[in-house]
Amino acid sequence: MAEAILSLERVHTYIEQHHILQGVDLSFMPGQATVLLGRNGAGKSTTLRTIMGLTPASSGSITLKSQAIQAMKPYEVAKLGVGFVPEDQAVLYTLSVEENFRLAMLTENESAWARMETIFELFPDMKKFWRSKAGVLSGGQKQMLAIARAFVNDHDLLLIDEPSKGLAPIVVDHLIESINHIKNHTTVILVEQNFYMASHVGVAYFILDDGRTVHQGLMADLVHDEGLKQKYLGIA
């Protein structure tokens, strides 16, 4: 079995006095799309934020490509090739779409602009609104921009936090299509409440509950496991 691109061992994270992650163990295989599932407040988003160093782990280890990253600052983690798409369409509203992309390009070279061509094919709206402020985009377009922005650097690993939140079903379908395209090139870790989206993107899954990893397996098995879905995800 190949070596994991990213693994978390007994990771604990506090936010102020709250003990959010209480021993999370995860490992992600390169080239695979993995979904983190669990109820609201299970610690899924905090797990992504802890990997990025935004809410640093208080104990435990996080290893990225055999390098310990648990003590690193967010910008250092990003420079190691980790793209992060935060929840709530976190694009920069006062910047134009173009500037959002330029900001995302750590090195503005030809290969970055060549990738822009692929991005334009995948997200034609980005080209259409190239000079507009990101603030005038619709919710779905903002989410596309946030994802496409993380794609521009040819990252090895992409962390995506609840991309489907607040989006219409038809937009979610487009998102699924785009992420499935992206996952051919890069390892994707997706936090998703929308089981429809999760099951159409993820190959492997982890279930978190109360800040702990409680279950893991392949998405193809989970889809038919009604008992497990009922117990941890509240879906019948």
Partner 1 sequence: MTSQAATVGIQEKSGMDPKKLGVWTASVGIWFLPLLWIDPTTYAVLTVAGLAMGMLIFLTASGLTLIFGLMDVLNLAHGAFFVWGAYVGFSLLNALQKIGWVEGAGAAQSIGSVMLCLLAALVVGGIMGIVLEKMLVRLTYGSHLKQILITMGASLILVEVLKVVWSPNDEVVIVPQAFQGSWDVMDVIVTKFRVVAIVVGLAVLAGIQLVMMRTKLGIIVRAGVENKEVVETLGYNIRRVFTGVFCAGAALAAVGGTMWSIFKEQIHPAMGEENLIFALIVVIIGGMGSVTGSFLGAIMVGLAFNYVAYTLPPLALGANIMIMAVILLIRPTGLMGKD
Which parts of this chain interact with partner 1 (CB under 8 A)?
52, 54, 73-75, 77-79, 84, 86, 90-95, 99, 102-104, 106, 108, 125, 128-129, 132-133, 136-138, 140-141, 149, 153, 168, 171
Report CA-CA distances (Å) from 229 to 43, 66, 118.
17, 33, 37
How many CB atoms lie under 10 A from the CB of residue 65? 15
- What tokens does 96 get? 């134009």
Task: Provide the minimum distance between the beta carbon of 93 and partner 1 in the complex, in angstroms, as a whole number.
Answer: 7
Report CA-CA distances (Å) from 139 to 22, 98, 100.
34, 18, 16
Task: Provide the minimum distance between the beta carbon of 173 and partner 1 in the complex, in angstroms, as a whole number.
Answer: 14
Of 23 and 139, which has the nearer Cβ to partner 1? 139
Task: Provide the minimum distance between the beta carbon of 195 and partner 1 in the complex, in angstroms, as a whole number.
Answer: 24
52 DSSP assignment: H
Task: Provide the minimum distance between the beta carbon of 160 and partner 1 in the complex, in angstroms, as a whole number.
Answer: 12
Least Cα distance to 146 among 113, 190, 101 occurs for: 101
Report CA-CA distances (Å) from 54 to 76, 78, 155, 210, 221.
11, 11, 19, 20, 33
Task: Provide the minimum distance between the beta carbon of 149 and partner 1 in the complex, in angstroms, as a whole number.
Answer: 8
Of 114 and 168, which has the nearer Cβ to partner 1? 168
Collapsed DSSP state (helix, strand, coil) of residue 201: helix
Collapsed DSSP state (helix, strand, coil) of residue 150: helix
| Residue tagged 């173009």 (tokens) | 98
Task: Provide the minimum distance between the beta carbon of 3 and partner 1 in the complex, in angstroms, as a whole number.
Answer: 25
